[in-house]
Amino acid sequence: MDMNALYKLTHGLYVLGASDNGKMVGSIVDAVMQVANKPMAIALSCTNTSYTKECIDRTGEFSLSVLCKDIPPFIVANFGYQSSRTTDKWSAVKHYINNGLPYLQDNLAVFRCKVLHSYKLESNTLFVAEVTDAVDNKSGEPLTYLDYRSYFRQEVMTSFQNFQKENKTMAEESGKKWVCTVCGYVYDGDIPFEDLPDDYVCPLCGVGKDLFELQ
Ligand code: FE
């Protein structure tokens, strides 16, 4: 199968928002389209490993913020390159909360959606959802997945590297250490903790990097 053929199906890029018992979670999604007008419905596909997807499974509700072509690249890095399991993504960006769901302040349009059906595939879950509210906020060209692939990705990656560097400097200046939240092991290796491979485990109790905290 020629995977390049699939890139010729066009998508936008959106910030998806959901709530986990009042904690705001979110991610970047591209597979969104209107599929009916009675009821007004859209389809959304999320990967099954996504924490935001798990929250939508539980609550049956989500928000979408439509991104403009001129958004700062960090918005995409913030929502796309981290997990809401370990990061409060919304606190890093200007946003507002309406009736329990988070929305990006800088948007072209926003939607609130209620899940009608979900279909589980091996890699993804497809939600068909009713649009219960839609607001057209400003004119402008929506950012597409093609924009990301053709020119935006490098800017997004650079913004994320700068963000990580700043965080590291702040951590160093504050004298904080990465500590295993399970057994209390304090990381003191020469390689900065952030640069350790994803499969790094605590040498004492064996849990992964995601269970370490800066303390
Ligand atoms: Fe440990």
Q: Of all residues in the chain, what percent are helix, strand and coil, respectively (each to 5)? A: 30, 35, 35
Question: Above 90 in pLDDT, residue 18?
Answer: yes
Give, as residue ranges, everything with CB less than 5 Å from ion ligand 1.
Answer: 180, 182-183, 185, 202, 204-205
Whole-number Å distance, alpha carbon 209 to ligand 1 midpoint, is 10
The overall average pLDDT reported for the chain is 93
Q: How far is CA 32 from CA 15, 44, 61, 191, 194, in A?
A: 11, 5, 15, 40, 33
Residue 71 — pLDDT band, cuts 50, 70, 90? Answer: very high
What is the tens place of the pLDDT at every residue in 30-61? 999 999 999 999 999 999 999 999 999 999 99
- Residue 47's pLDDT is 95
Whole-number Å distance, alpha carbon 89 to ligand 1 midpoint, is 25
Count of C-beta atoms within a 10 Å radius of residue 177? 14
Sign of the C-alpha dihedral, residues 148, 154, 159, 163?
positive
Whole-number Å distance, alpha carbon 168 to ligand 1 midpoint, is 21
- Residue 162's pLDDT is 92
What is the tens place of the pLDDT at every residue in 127-180? 999 999 999 999 999 999 999 999 999 999 999 999 888 887 777 777 788 999
Residue 28 CA to residue 52 CA, distance in Å, equals: 10
pTM score, two decimals? 0.80
- Residue 58's pLDDT is 97
Q: Which domains does the chain have, with CATH numbers?
A: 3-160 (2.30.110.10), 176-214 (2.20.28.10)
Question: Above 80 in pLDDT, residue 70?
Answer: yes
Whole-number Å distance, alpha carbon 208 to ligand 1 midpoint, is 8
Question: Above 90 in pLDDT, residue 188?
Answer: no
Closest of 26, 17, 29, 5 to residue 145, by C-alpha: 29
